[in-house]
Amino acid sequence: MEAHGLTREAQARAAATAVLATEPRLQAVARRGINLIFSTALILIFSPLLLGTAIAIRLDSRGPALFRQRRVGRGQKEFTLYKFRSMRLDADPRGHREYVTALIKGQAEAAPESNRKDLYKLAVDDRITSVGRWIRRWSIDELPQLFNVVLGDMSLVGPRPAISYEVAEYPSWYLQRFSVKPGLTGLWQVSGRNERTYEEMVRLDVEYVERRSLWLDLSILFRTPWTVLSRKGAA
């Protein structure tokens, strides 16, 4: 088991090194500049919505407005991801863990008890608050990740940030997702999102890693608002 873990870690480091080595320094600086400018501007633009959402969450249920969770980023390094809290404070994560594990193994779609509504969320989930259901519907719960972009843990565009118990189930080729920083949006999100299987999502992430460029990033960014507003591929 330990040897297998070392192999996976070595593969992830090698993939990350390969991607970073092929990106010119000027392009890397430009990408970071775009991330800072866009994320800061969006925080300012959405500040009334951010404040209003935080107040609504506090009034709706007991607990903080923000939810913090450890996620796996570039090179399999963990970081703290910020989201608006959409669940009750006493929510048990075991059901979601079992569901995502089944997704990775290709078993969730065939299991009627999984109540599959979209790729990551259970259709019947009594852990979600009334405000939480609304902010999830319009992806407002994801907006605090703009601060992750400012901090440099995430990029505006990249693979979806994974949870450690997902990564524990990954076959080795999935680890290519960690060659770049995770993103607030990505190729998967604008390509059908929840209409895709977990493996298709990973393949789109790997395709993004292989095709990564500033032009692709800008294309995904400009397609994202329509995807959110039209709820294309959403539950």
**Could you tell me the residue ranges of all domains in the chain?**
2-230
* More confident: 227 or 58: 58
User: Residue 9's pLDDT is what?
Assistant: 56
Class of residue 232 by CB neighbours under 10 A (exposed 0-12, middle 13-18, buried 19+) = middle
User: Residue 15's pLDDT is what?
Assistant: 53
Mean pLDDT of the region 138-156: 96
- In this model, does residue 170 exceed pLDDT 80? yes
- In this model, does residue 36 exceed pLDDT 70? yes
Q: CA geometry: angle at 157 spanning 39 and 205, to 5°? A: 160
Q: Contact, 160 vs 186, CB < 8 A?
A: yes
CA distance 143 to 46: 9
CA distances from 41 to 46, 55, 146, 219 (A): 9, 22, 10, 18
Q: How confident is the model at residue 134 (pLDDT cuts 50, 70, 90)?
A: very high
- In this model, does residue 19 exceed pLDDT 70? no
Mean pLDDT of the region 79-99: 85
- In this model, does residue 54 exceed pLDDT 90? yes
pTM of the model: 0.81
User: Residue 111's pLDDT is what?
Assistant: 42
Q: How confident is the model at residue 7 (pLDDT cuts 50, 70, 90)?
A: low
User: Residue 196's pLDDT is what?
Assistant: 77
Q: Contact, 144 vs 39, CB < 8 A?
A: no
- In this model, does residue 233 exceed pLDDT 90? no
Q: For the chain, what is the mean pLDDT?
A: 83
- In this model, does residue 84 exceed pLDDT 90? yes
CA distance 84 to 80: 13
- In this model, does residue 202 exceed pLDDT 70? yes
Q: How confident is the model at residue 103 (pLDDT cuts 50, 70, 90)?
A: confident
Give residues with Cβ within 8 angstroms of 26, minimum separation 6. Answer: none
CA distance 32 to 208: 17
Instruction: Compute the CA torsion angle 176, 178, 181, 186 (nearest 10 deg).
Output: 50
- In this model, does residue 66 exceed pLDDT 90? yes
Q: Contact, 12 vs 76, CB < 8 A?
A: yes
Mean pLDDT of the region 65-90: 94
